[in-house]
Structure 1
């Protein structure tokens, strides 16, 4: 159990049999009446948001989440196979369970799998990945580093906007949190 006074951004709580993360919180002490905590919560499974008010000091069940480091090994049909880095056990996840992270999955990539009650909530990729460009329009003479951008497809199938001077076959670094080009691999 956790007190509503201890809420912080990212705190996971359990409400009505699902996991909710605190996105925003505000402790309010009105001049008249008792204090309360106004929160904005996000469901970890569905992504829905909810605004809820708790009395100050109200006890709420805290969701116990387990983080495991796993390595993506291969794809088997529509399933993605991960190996636990401590126990060497394999687990299989669907694209739905992985979410948007699936577009940057590359063999032998280490990820963090967040589970609650033996259910996968989230697959966290590293903040940046280095991938090779497999398709992009060729650069044209006169393209500059400060010019525009063009779409490029990387080896995992994801599409990223890159500067005009980047060409096919180059390895680039991509920020997986917001799908942006960070630079060439050095």
Structure 2
């Protein structure tokens, strides 16, 4: 059982008898002597899809959820459903689109490194790779001679995701994006 200090963003733990995906971690250090450090977690219940707030002292912990991870490849999405192909037994997983609204921003056809999460025989979500490569389809043009400061500009990626990229990035380039934070990592 991991202690509160060992629980990181992206882990799946059991809270109130349900698997919960940790989405953010906030640490409150006490100002008084002898007081315990508080860890506040924002999680998403993978069965009900509701947000859950969890507060733990540093000496408390949560059990890791016992679930199965199966590698899948994203095939396509239509108006109501998202389709994945199991990489091991070639079964097709069809999942409701509204259950994957956040993840859809990073999915493109043929994307590998995805896992479907199965808890007690029931599909509960997908796990994205840490970083994905997406093409820039719209952004302001690069201006030669612009200052070399770390200024950024918005860019629309092929999936519709809008991120901030450095000024030197132009349309048609491929960029690497962190799926945990939605931030630009590098040019590919």
What TM-score comes out, normalization by structure 2 length?
0.72
Q: Which runs of 5+ in 1 are unaligned?
A: 1-5, 25-37
Q: 1:50 to 1:182 in 2, by over 3 A?
A: closer
Please tell me whether the aligned partners of residues 79 and 97 of structure 2 are also in contact (alpha carbons under 8 angstroms).
Answer: no
Match status 1:76 vs 2:63: no
Q: Is the 8 A contact 1:112 1:123 kept in 2?
A: yes
Go from structure 1 to structure 2 and tell me whether the alpha carbon gap of 1:120 and 1:96 turns closer, same or farther (over 3 Å shift).
Answer: farther
Find the counterpart in structure 2 of residue 29 from structure 1: none
Q: Secondary structure of the residue that 1:97 maps to in structure 2?
A: helix
State the alpha-carbon separation in 2 of the partners of residues 21 and 132 from structure 1.
28
Change in Cα spacing, 1:145 to 1:48, as seen in structure 2 (3 Å) is same
Count matched residues.
163
**Structure-1-length-normalised TM-score:** 0.73
Task: Name the counterpart of 2:102.
Answer: 100
Which residue does 1:12 correspond to in 2? 13
Q: Using the alignment, how far apart are the partners of 2:21 and 2:106 within structure 1? A: 25
Deviates more, 1:129-138 or 1:117-126: 117-126
Residues in 1 aligned to 2:119 and 2:187: alpha-carbon distance in whole angstroms: 37
Taking a change above 3 Å as real, the CA distance of residues 7 and 169 of structure 1, as seen in their structure-2 partners, is closer
Contact residue 68 and residue 112 of structure 1 kept, 8 A: yes
Residue in structure 2 matched with residue 114 of structure 1 by the alignment: 117
Contact 1:97 1:120 in 2 (8 A): no
SS at match of 2:51: coil
Partner of 1:47: 51
5+ long unaligned stretches in structure 2: 27-37
